[in-house]
Structure 1
């Protein structure tokens, strides 16, 4: 079973909606709830995706309105409910709650194609996929993703003795995406990967055992979040060189692969593209250029990555400023192919 909370009220968080739905297993029951300010920044692409799934009223859902939906991935919709409060249009109050009482026929999911695959690891895969969801091709029939990757050799490899330490917590779907992305890279080696898990989470350890990736479980200490993070990083650096005593350097990653270390404290996304964090006791403001409305503050002498080809510039000018493709860097994306997840297709 997969449980996910997507804070689409925060600008940009809705970009994850397509990849989450693409990872779900067809035939499974989906219980969906949209509440509070989630509809405020829910993109048109996400609304169209949900409509194709069978959520009929998502196209007109406004902020602070509630919606509940129950259906089958790739199958029928069983029930849908939505609040319509006139006062909500003024933006001053919250909508009333939604109560949905649904009886769904109990049908055993057919996972026989995974069970028919021979071998101890395939048996472990079938058991894993019967317990958990959200792993996309890992549990897809009849051609699931491989459990062992054999990437090509890296020409002029200078990191053969450099271990990779991944810091993880209770986000197994992110961790799987991270591991698959790393294991597919040229010169990658599973023997040089070590995962440090902050706390014991059964799904995380089951995933690592399935992929046969070495790991260690430890609960970080500290009163504050910052103290816990510092404690875990300090232990991680000590751990990686104990496990790999011949290494003179190491690579550290967090499980989500795209963590910037910047917290957007504007939870309502009113200051689009403005981020704030603290470096020691100094408050630092980061402006996403040219995405942010504050891009005009960029000093004229500061150079940025540019698109030089005329046809590329003309193509970009046809896109709105909120379109993600305006800021994609293909040269970088080629190194993380698993992050480019296509939108799901529902029949």
Structure 2
């Protein structure tokens, strides 16, 4: 007997038919009515504490499943604004709670917002930072004792290479500081393993997952524990557009009462360091407690050379002027490099800044250098601001007089005292790294101004100064092309060629236009520059510089790292016009002609000179072959630079390689009759042209 039959007969008996025909159909009808007529019940409130990982913000995916009361419902008189956190739907349930954490007088509340178009931060409802337009990762450094902002930087990690600068900056921050990170717009495209690993070291668990246009925020302590983190993914954000939803974070932390001031020896220099390091952050050895003296902040290269250069006549006639903007950490790196170079006359260093800036002023006081705040009127053309600033430098330091139509009202005030006067001026920008032998090189080469009046200046920079083609510390070249980075100018050039032809007030040209005009006005005029650069560009942001330009064209340039070499008097004399051309002709005649594709093959190491005749007529439309050859040599290939009469010379694999442009160069006649000028493969011509067109504007001012 089956179980069904047993239940019918033994349990239900005569009621089995009634259950089958009445009870079961009635139950089915009631169930259907219940499903179609009853509204869904409201979800039961959940315990938010169970959704919070200690040290984390609420997970953005779980966050949308939780009902919350809007702050305007709790406070009817609260008026939301574009910057009010009332519009951010942040309630007490968003706070990060730590077990056993008690609110004291030292507790502060940090609130921040990260979104596609703005970043905002506040402490105890007081705004400490906002930004509406700078793409990338925003980093604000807070003092753990006072809660004050010590540094604020933006790293556009959408651009290649910028993460390297971010990692270096984080490494230069002292342990214990509170670091606040937030994303604006996009920050992941070129954030590679190096940057992500650095963020993981700081406690982040979302840095590996940060994707294109995701939003992210992190509050952590350098060398300590993470305080809070939140993240919004594009794929899961219910925003209706192509960015992750805005993320909001609120966390409490206690300010530390015990001071962390370094126990340095009490003296004037260390006291200046203490004052500076209380207010600013990100300066590495300058604020490192283990670096106990001012002298130990700097690398000391060659004290004997320093004493030798101080005894030279030109020591007191060589000044340095630095063009500074709103990049104090760049300026610090430039000043530190100058202080480490033997032969620096520290009494003749001046910084020219556009307007009063607290951190730049503090740096000038720390190093004890002159600071001139030009206070020039703001314009929309940055190169015009730079031109007015350089004009002020030439007037103050070299006593130059300019035509009245070139002087903007207020740019050259009559009631100011010059910082110093000099006959030779090294003009630097604040994003340049100076080599340890820069003053040795300049002191050695300055006599060429008296020897050859056709030389208008000395540049410490070489566009082609990459490791594969620049390895001779004693080789110096002439060029009729402009090379205005790290330029040493004698007073003769400023008074005779620059000041009288200075652009008019309403012109939009750069400051170096008169110098370019002077170089082209008379055959034989030139600038000289070293094969191995004595200065290199390190800035990732500026007027004409961004991360991609710095990474692709300047990042791998060489820099002289020693003072152990000797430029002979004969080497200096060979730069004089007649001797230089005689040596160039002799070298070309003695060189072995080659046709070689450096992209496909590697030239054997030898020491014999070689020459390659390249098809190039000097026009923009015909530079593809030249740029292809330079790219294959792994050197500068944005546009042709720094040639002399259509000839470029490089040291490559031991060879002194000369590239002669045919028919541009007057030395084209040296091409053998059976030699066909080198041309780029047809498959690369279009690529080379298109890749350099966008970069072919000059990058002299950053």
Asked whether the two chains share a fold, i.e. TM above 0.5, the reply is yes
Are residues 221 and 85 of structure 1, via their aligned partners in 2, closer, same or farther at CA, if it must alter by over 3 Å?
closer
CA offset digits 1:118-168 (Å, max 9, x no partner): 123322321221111111111111325626867633566685221000111
Q: Separation in 2 of the partners of 1:229 and 1:101?
A: 42
Q: Which has a greater percent of strand?
A: 2
Are residues 185 and 174 of structure 1, via their aligned partners in 2, closer, same or farther at CA, if it must alter by over 3 Å?
same
Counterpart of 1:234 in structure 2 is 391
Counterpart of 2:544 in structure 1 is 263
CA offset digits 1:72-106 (Å, max 9, x no partner): 11111111111123168xxx711111111111121
1:60 aligns with 2:209: yes
2:288 corresponds, among 137, 140, 143, to 140
The answer to whether the Cα contact below 8 Å between 2:350 and 2:371 also exists between their aligned partners in 1 is yes
Are residues 218 and 244 of structure 1, via their aligned partners in 2, closer, same or farther at CA, if it must alter by over 3 Å?
closer
Counterpart of 2:605 in structure 1 is none
Q: Separation in 1 of the partners of 2:341 and 2:553?
A: 33
Cα distance, 1:240 vs structure 2:
2.1
Q: Separation in 1 of the partners of 2:273 and 2:553?
A: 43
The answer to whether the Cα contact below 8 Å between 1:137 and 1:144 also exists between their aligned partners in 2 is no
The answer to whether the Cα contact below 8 Å between 2:324 and 2:351 also exists between their aligned partners in 1 is yes
CA offset digits 1:196-250 (Å, max 9, x no partner): 1211012211221122112212222353223212111111222222447763221
Counterpart of 2:321 in structure 1 is 165
1:129 aligns with 2:410: no
Q: Separation in 2 of the partners of 1:133 and 1:297?
A: 39
The answer to whether the Cα contact below 8 Å between 2:265 and 2:293 also exists between their aligned partners in 1 is no
The answer to whether the Cα contact below 8 Å between 1:111 and 1:126 also exists between their aligned partners in 2 is no
Are residues 17 and 304 of structure 1, via their aligned partners in 2, closer, same or farther at CA, if it must alter by over 3 Å?
farther
Q: Separation in 1 of the partners of 2:274 and 2:313?
A: 38
Cα distance, 1:7 vs structure 2:
1.1
Cα distance, 1:64 vs structure 2:
0.2
Counterpart of 1:2 in structure 2 is 151
The answer to whether the Cα contact below 8 Å between 1:138 and 1:145 also exists between their aligned partners in 2 is no
The answer to whether the Cα contact below 8 Å between 1:79 and 1:102 also exists between their aligned partners in 2 is yes
Counterpart of 2:70 in structure 1 is none
SS of equivalent to 1:101: strand
2:334 corresponds, among 178, 183, 186, to 178
Counterpart of 1:101 in structure 2 is 250
Cα distance, 1:169 vs structure 2:
2.3
Q: Separation in 1 of the partners of 2:253 and 2:379?
A: 45
Q: Separation in 1 of the partners of 2:431 and 2:553?
A: 21
Structure with the bigger RCO (C-alpha within 8 Å, sep 6+) is: 1
Ranges in structure 1 where 5+ consecutive residues have no aligned partner: 276-281, 310-347
What TM-score does the superposition give when structure 1 sets the normalisation length?
A: 0.72
Counterpart of 1:41 in structure 2 is 190
Are residues 245 and 58 of structure 1, via their aligned partners in 2, closer, same or farther at CA, if it must alter by over 3 Å?
closer
The answer to whether the Cα contact below 8 Å between 1:38 and 1:63 also exists between their aligned partners in 2 is yes
1:113 aligns with 2:258: no
SS of equivalent to 2:188: coil
1:196 aligns with 2:363: no
Q: Separation in 1 of the partners of 2:383 and 2:200?
A: 41
Cα distance, 1:14 vs structure 2:
2.2
2:173 corresponds, among 7, 12, 24, to 24
Counterpart of 2:454 in structure 1 is none
Counterpart of 1:220 in structure 2 is 376
CA offset digits 1:24-77 (Å, max 9, x no partner): 111110001134221111122111111112122211211100110001111111
What TM-score does the superposition give when structure 2 sets the normalisation length?
A: 0.37
Are residues 109 and 37 of structure 1, via their aligned partners in 2, closer, same or farther at CA, if it must alter by over 3 Å?
farther
The answer to whether the Cα contact below 8 Å between 1:164 and 1:250 also exists between their aligned partners in 2 is yes
Point out the more displaced range, 216-225 or 228-237.
216-225
Number of aligned residues: 293
Counterpart of 2:653 in structure 1 is 308
